[in-house]
Amino acid sequence: MYHYFVTSSRLQDLCSSLVSFATLDKNKTQLELEVLEACEGGSDGIINGGHTVLAFEQARNYKYDLTEARVKVTIHIGLTEDEAKDIALASNTSAPVDARSKVNARGDYKFLKQFLAQLEREQKTKFRIAYYQNQSGAPKSPQCNVNHLIKLMNCLDRNKYNPDSKSRTKHPPVSNTPSLSETERQRLSKLLPLLSKGLWIEQRLFQVIEEHITKPKRKGVVDLASIDPRKNTLLPDSRYSFGFSAPADIAMPIVAAYRVFLDEQYNWIIPFDDFAEDFLQHLWNNYYRKYLVSEKLALNTVGSKICRNPVIWDNLYVSAQSYLNQQLLKMVSSSTKREELKLVN
């Protein structure tokens, strides 16, 4: 049961228009509107300001003086915090509440917020993440959307997105907003330790792009599709800002290629720092840069389509497999030579 309290000097007449669910206090200075829930026999719909507006509108039609009217809303039932959030999210609004806001209201991002807080302390940095719609102080950059972080982790899930398995989904569907069921939260929790690596790959790719478009011989000319030097981009880590804009998902195919270097327990087969930089340069110089240049020459500039082209995802994944095999062969060869030296000695 909900109660609305409306105080005014002319409530006697206002009460007459709402007699079915209104009562006056003994001093006739406060009107209490009682709104019943459905289980109590009420049929007033979602409780919102419309009930009070209707009361005032009816009184105004009767020419009552409402200049001194004030509204105080008190909920007298035992709502939990989550239930109150659900009611707020269900309020009538001209702008729909996005899925991210609903997930945040349920508290489903807590595991991610706690991890980032720890990462901030370890790396002595600050993350700028928008967890809900119209969040105060959150940047508009799509890379700073919480869903972007989840996409980065998805790209490193070699178990769920493995072209070598019988799974129908070869590569992460970056166009979809990830759901956060209990099963999904458990899966993402296992991927959390990889998030810092995903962030590093994205940051390093943006640095490589910046180096490419600012070379003297290319001054004023950008030969990469979907790169706009007239705008800026912020990345989630507050240390990284760039003087050009790129599609939010531009790093995803590169990040996803790194999942080839993970085993089933999400451990790196080769220490990450031993290959990460060289591998990124390999992908950029031999595949991704050439791909973006060719798309620009073909006048294909729609960033989302370029980043989600399955051909480039396949090429990068196959290249990653080849690169890994070469590195493993080098390690075996080096180990064999060391054994031979030991035998000679």
> In this predicted model, what pLDDT tens digit does every residue of 198-256 receive, in sequence order?
999 999 999 999 999 987 666 667 899 999 988 999 999 999 999 999 999 999 999 99
Query: CA separation (Å) from 209 to 25, 215, 250?
Result: 70, 10, 11
- 3-state class (DSSP) for residue 74: strand
- What was the pLDDT predicted at 37? 63
Per-residue model confidence as pLDDT tens digits over 9-58 = 444 444 444 434 555 556 655 656 666 666 666 665 555 666 667 777 77
The mean pLDDT of 78-94, rounded to a whole number, is: 60
- What was the pLDDT predicted at 341? 47
Confidence of residue 128 (pLDDT cuts 50, 70, 90): very high
- Residue found under tokens 């970056």: 174
Q: Output the DSSP codes for 10-59.
A: THHHHHHTTTTSEEE-TTSSEEEEEE--GGGT----S-STHHHHHHHHHH
- What was the pLDDT predicted at 326? 93
Phi-psi region of 137 (alpha: psi -120 to 50; beta: other; left: phi over 0): left
- What was the pLDDT predicted at 22? 53
Q: Are 292 and 251 in contact (CB under 8 A)?
A: no
Q: Packing angle between helix 146-155 and helix 182-191, nearest 10 degrees?
A: 70
Q: Compute the distance between CA of residue 8 and CA of residue 14 in angstroms, rounded to an integer.
A: 9
Per-residue model confidence as pLDDT tens digits over 284-295 = 999 999 999 999
Per-residue model confidence as pLDDT tens digits over 182-213 = 888 999 999 999 999 999 999 999 999 999 99
The mean pLDDT of 85-104, rounded to a whole number, is: 69
- What was the pLDDT predicted at 18? 44
Token digits of residue 113: 């917020």
- What was the pLDDT predicted at 16? 42
Token digits of residue 53: 């507006």
- Residue found under tokens 């990284």: 240
CB burial class (10 A; 0-12, 13-18, 19+) of residue 167? exposed
Residue 1 predicted with pLDDT over 50: no
Query: CA separation (Å) from 3 to 46, 48, 51, 52?
Result: 14, 11, 11, 11
**Would you mind telling me the total number of residues written for the chain in this entry?**
345
| Close Cβ partners of 8 (under 8 Å, ≥ 6 residues apart) | 14, 29, 31, 66, 68, 69, 70
H helices of 124-173, where? 146-155
Token digits of residue 95: 């702008």
The mean pLDDT of the chain is 81
- What was the pLDDT predicted at 9? 43
Q: Are 20 and 34 in contact (CB under 8 A)?
A: no
Per-residue model confidence as pLDDT tens digits over 6-23 = 454 444 444 444 434 555
What is the residue type of 262? L
Neighbours of 60 (CB within 10 A): 12
What is the residue type of 310? P
pTM, whole model, 2 decimals? 0.72
- What was the pLDDT predicted at 10? 45
- What was the pLDDT predicted at 12? 45
